[in-house]
Structure 1
Amino acid sequence: MHQPRTTQIMAHRGASKAERPNTVAAFARAREMGSHAVELDVRQCRSGELVVHHDPQLADGRIIAQLSKDQLPSFIPTLDEVLDACGEMWVNVEIKNHRTEPDFDTDDHRTDAVIDVLRRRVARHGDPRRYLLSCFRRATVDHAVKKWPELPTAWLTISVSNADELARDLKDSGHVAVHPEVGQVSQQMIDTFHRHGLAVNTWTCDDPANMATLIDWGIDGICTNVPDVISCSASSRWRIVSVFVSSMKSPSSW
């Protein structure tokens, strides 16, 4: 058993078991439940607004990138509306940008638009380290680092074949974290990334027993659909405290 580390409770698309995922209500509920952080998905509609939605299309099959904001259902919020609802919670902004999807953005204009929103908010409210930008497309997070080096970035991945090699590469590229799928996570993997000064935030875990194991292993963040359940699980094993900007001296301290 490892010495306990701070573990963040990250509400996946908000409190997505209790409310419709990726809605203002879901993020407000996560805040009420005491989540330290939230994860959200960003796309862009035809009229240019950044909106929070997981899939590239609506339930009726219409493509979000081909619709204006006023053609979208009212429950789909803008990025700014969600960030307002999140209050002081730490926010993991996942940019949806996969080459197989109809809104694939090879030039990362969507990423630039997200960074513009975050820059504007940081200019008003403080430190860029209250946000984390993540994506499954490695080129997208690499682009973000070059665009705004002070903004923490993380690569999302399903599998990790060589943790040491990947950790060196991510660190050298300026990223602060890796986000592996929960079924691929091991204590050895976490230890390897920690040795290189990288955080490990996993997705998506709703089982209290698995949560407790991950906490034992020293995981930095657990993305979950049930942040109220993980609060109970975490408090029964370790004292879990949030990681806010005030405790972040630098990205390497994660």
Structure 2
Amino acid sequence: MIARVTAGDGSKKPLVLAHRGARREEPENTIPAFTRALRQGADGIELDVHRTSDNSLVVHHDADTPELGVLANLTVKEIKLSRPDIPTLEEVFAACKNCLINVEIKNMPTDDDYDESNKTADLVVDLISGLDRQDDAIVSSFNMSSINQVLKLAPNMATGFLVSPVFDFVSALTLCRDNGHGALHPFMSMLAFDEGVEFINTSHQFGINVNVWTANEVSDIEYLISIGVDSIITDVPDTAIKIRDSLSS
């Protein structure tokens, strides 16, 4: 499902995933941002989801907005009345075909809508399965419990463990492997040293993909391609695609 792009010489090049869409040209986490990124040639998109009070899923980075407050306290209809630009996850899947959709579940204890029961994970699995889009999706989270719940409900659904530099790479990889997740999503700086290639090779030996966030500088994108990452999550998908394709030619 998450196969890398094959270059002309038969080598594998990473997928390019647009971080919240083409967010430098369109408002982030909106249908225009996602569809623009796909028109630019992105292999997929990355987005954030939150649960509403009527158990729907909306796409928005933060748990709240200045004008509405905490989204989990509102119905979809109430959200749409003030913010029609905030899409539901179902609307994004309808608008974005033939691409990879990285759904990040926002559910950390510090979040205003934190839910220890992982209801958001349940809803994400139900939606993706109901739409028969399992082959188009990977579900990620900083919360291991959330993606563990995804695997419990849907053992064949692709999942990724998101990690920040508070982890070292080896510890994060071990946690990812021990919990049965097929991808690690490290912050870029976790690979920015001499052991980067070794870390990627070790991950692949474990059968774990490495999808890196968020690479925007040309030198960083070139470096990540050179060490063999599986996906690059970026705010500049058009730039990343040009770099990848130029290195593939």
TM-score normalised over the length of structure 2? 0.88
The separation in 2 between residues aligned to 1:45 and 1:195, in whole angstroms, is 40
The separation in 2 between residues aligned to 1:29 and 1:16, in whole angstroms, is 9
Alignment CA distance shift 1:92-1:206 (3 Å):
same
Aligned equivalent of 2:190, options 173, 184, 188: 184
Q: Which residue of 2 aligns with 1:226?
A: 236
Q: Secondary structure at the match of 2:199?
A: helix
1:134 paired with 2:140, answer yes
Q: Which residue of 2 aligns with 1:68?
A: 75
Q: Which runs of 5+ in 2 are unaligned?
A: 1-9
Aligned residue pairs, count: 232
Q: Is the 8 A contact 1:4 1:216 kept in 2?
A: no
One-letter amino acid of the counterpart of residue 111, structure 1: A
1:86 CA displacement: 1.2
1:168 CA displacement: 4.3
1:25 paired with 2:35, answer no
Q: Is the 8 A contact 1:167 1:196 kept in 2?
A: no
Q: Which residue of 2 aligns with 1:10?
A: 17
- Looking at both structures, which has the greater relative contact order when contacts are Cα pairs under 8 Å and sequence separation is at least 6? 1
Q: Secondary structure at the match of 2:184?
A: strand
Q: Is the 8 A contact 1:98 1:136 kept in 2?
A: yes
Aligned equivalent of 1:161, options 165, 168, 176: 168
One-letter amino acid of the counterpart of residue 188, structure 1: E
Aligned equivalent of 2:158, options 141, 146, 152: 152
Q: Which residue of 2 aligns with 1:95?
A: 105
One-letter amino acid of the counterpart of residue 145, structure 1: L
Q: Which residue of 2 aligns with 1:244?
A: none
CA offsets per residue over residues 6-27 of structure 1, 9 Å max, x none?
Answer: 3000000111111100001111
CA RMSD of the aligned region, Å?
1.6
Could you say which structure has the higher strand fraction?
2
1:166 CA displacement: 4.1
CA offsets per residue over residues 188-218 of structure 1, 9 Å max, x none?
Answer: 2212211211000010111112101110100
One-letter amino acid of the counterpart of residue 149, structure 2: H
1:45 CA displacement: 1.4
One-letter amino acid of the counterpart of residue 109, structure 2: R
1:80 paired with 2:86, answer no
Q: Is the 8 A contact 2:188 2:215 kept in 1?
A: yes
Q: Is the 8 A contact 1:5 1:219 kept in 2?
A: no
1:173 CA displacement: 2.3
Q: Which residue of 2 aligns with 1:41?
A: 48
Misfit runs of 4+, over 3 Å:
165-169
